[in-house]
């Protein structure tokens, strides 16, 4: 009996200790790095120019726009596309639209976050700031939508959605390029 009681007490204290570690705040850190050589490697698929990054959000959107504009060329690089200035006449041009909406559901407020990356053949791209509806359809589009409690105020959320949207758009652009070569 005494042995069983000691096992129960031991299991109880062990459980409390293991579960309490879950309640402790953990410092979270995520990092990435990029090496971009001066000479473009042969694996680079094409060049593109970043036309604009637009954020549709209430309050504090300028820092999100700047962060996306700085990170976008790096994510394009991850997928084999080098971002160059417009004066270099790249093969493609891209525009990024970021939206955050609040949805009221009773007493709870949810957010809808979306990141859309549109890539045009450079000659078909709209001028920076021109309405997109007056131009040809893009060659590729990637869009990621999340509904929940997250916000673009978190760089982690902004980073993940932008990376996914660029990845989706560049995969579709690769399909477009293959079809263009085969035609």
Give Cβ neighbours of residue 145 (< 8 Å, ≥ 6 apart): 112, 113, 114
Beta-bridged to residue 69, according to DSSP, are none
pLDDT at position 134, please?
A: 64
Whether residue 27 lies inside any domain: the answer is: no
Whether residue 92 lies inside any domain: the answer is: yes
Buried b (16+ CB within 10 A) or exposed e, 56-81: ebeeeeeebbebbeebbbbbbbebeb
Give the max Cα distance, the chain.
85
pLDDT at position 131, please?
A: 62
Whether residue 3 lies inside any domain: the answer is: no
Whether residue 146 lies inside any domain: the answer is: yes
pLDDT at position 93, please?
A: 92
Whether residue 99 lies inside any domain: the answer is: yes
For 110-157, write each residue's pLDDT tens digit: 888 889 999 999 988 887 656 666 668 899 999 999 888 777 677 788
Whether residue 86 lies inside any domain: the answer is: yes
Round to whole Å and give the CA distance between 55 and 62. 8
Share of residues in the chain with pLDDT > 90 (%): 24
User: In the predicted model, what is the mean pLDDT of the chain?
Assistant: 79
pLDDT at position 162, please?
A: 93
Q: What are phi and psi of 122, to 5 degrees?
A: -50, -40
Give the residue, 150 or 100, on which the prediction is more confident. 100
Q: For residue 103, is pLDDT > 50?
A: yes
The enclosing domain of 120 has a CATH number of: 3.30.160
Whether residue 137 lies inside any domain: the answer is: yes
For 158-181, write each residue's pLDDT tens digit: 888 999 999 999 999 998 888 888
Q: For residue 70, is pLDDT > 70?
A: yes
Range of the domain at 89: 43-182
* Cβ 146 vs Cβ 139: under 8 Å: no
Buried b (16+ CB within 10 A) or exposed e, 112-148: ebbbbbbbbbbeebbeeeeebeeeeebbbbbebeeee
Give the H or E element holding residue 68.
Answer: helix 62-78
- Pairing outcome for strands 140-148 and 108-121: antiparallel
Tally of domains within the chain: 1
């Amino acid at each position: 009996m005494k042995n069983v009681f000691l096992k129960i007490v031991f299991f109880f204290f062990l459980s409390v200790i293991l579960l309490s570690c879950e309640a402790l705040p953990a410092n979270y850190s995520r990092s990435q790095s990029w090496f971009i050589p001066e000479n473009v490697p042969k694996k680079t698929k094409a060049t593109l120019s970043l036309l604009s990054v637009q954020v549709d959000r209430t309050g504090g959107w300028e820092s999100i726009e700047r962060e996306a504009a700085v990170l976008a060329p790096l994510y394009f690089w991850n997928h084999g596309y080098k971002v160059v200035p417009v004066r270099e006449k790249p093969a493609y041009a891209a525009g990024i639209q970021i939206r955050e909406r609040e949805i009221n559901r009773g007493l709870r407020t949810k957010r809808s976050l979306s990141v859309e990356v549109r890539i045009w053949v450079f000659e078909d791209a709209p001028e920076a700031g021109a309405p997109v509806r007056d131009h040809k359809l893009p060659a590729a589009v990637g869009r990621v939508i999340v509904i929940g409690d997250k916000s673009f105020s978190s760089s982690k959320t902004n980073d993940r959605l932008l990376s996914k949207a660029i990845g989706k758009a560049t995969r579709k652009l690769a399909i477009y390029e293959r079809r263009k070569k085969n035609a």
